Amino acid sequence: MEIKTGDSYHIKDEFFEMIQDKHLMSNKENGNYRPHFLAVHDRKNTELYWMIPISSQVEKYKAIIENKIKKYGKCNTIIIGRFAGKDNAFLIQNAFPIIEKYFDHIHTIENKPVVIHNKLANSLSINLREVLAMHNRGISLFFTDIDYILEKLENELKGGHITK
């Protein structure tokens, strides 16, 4: 499967079972694949992708954004944008790394891939890079343990065994 930055995907259960991070958004809801994840290719490691969960709970996240802006002057961990014809919240704060083998399928509506507009995809990539840079300076804004996930994935890429 060709993975493209700006497309949305569903992830295999196997990934969630391996990682077992309580802060990862659950993979299925009422038998449906949820949530959808926006893929962003890692700039340093070509085998890694960053997955940004997409939520339809816009009002909930608008309130959180407003609070963060009041407190910090900006919010780059949650971005509101159009997805599948509706406003959605893109949750950079819940982003996590992944490798290609854990992608299940591209998100489609009526058998057509749902693509995110280039301007929004670029904005999300920029904000993700900012939040990752802050993480690398010791200011982690991620709910998921991205260092733990990265370690597991890098070990797997090197041919090591995955341990829980």
| CATH number, position 18 | 3.10.129.130
Q: How many domains does the chain have?
A: 1
Q: In this structure, are residues 123 and 81 in contact, taking their beta carbons and an 8 Å threshold? A: yes
The encoded tokens of residue 116 equal: 């995110």
- Whether 122 is in a domain gets the answer yes
The domain of 15 spans 8-157
Q: Residue 74's pLDDT is what? A: 93
Question: pTM here?
Answer: 0.87
Establish if 162 belongs to a structural domain: no
The pLDDT of residue 103: 87
Q: How confident is the model at residue 164 (pLDDT cuts 50, 70, 90)?
A: very low
Report whether pLDDT(25) > 60.
yes
Q: Is residue 63 part of a domain?
A: yes
Tokens 């991070």 belong to 21
**Span 105-142, pLDDT tens digits:** 787 777 787 778 889 989 999 999 999 999 999 998 99
User: CA 84 to CA 95: how far, in whole Å?
Assistant: 20
* Residue 130 within a domain: yes
pLDDT number for residue 160:
61
3-state class (DSSP) for residue 45: coil
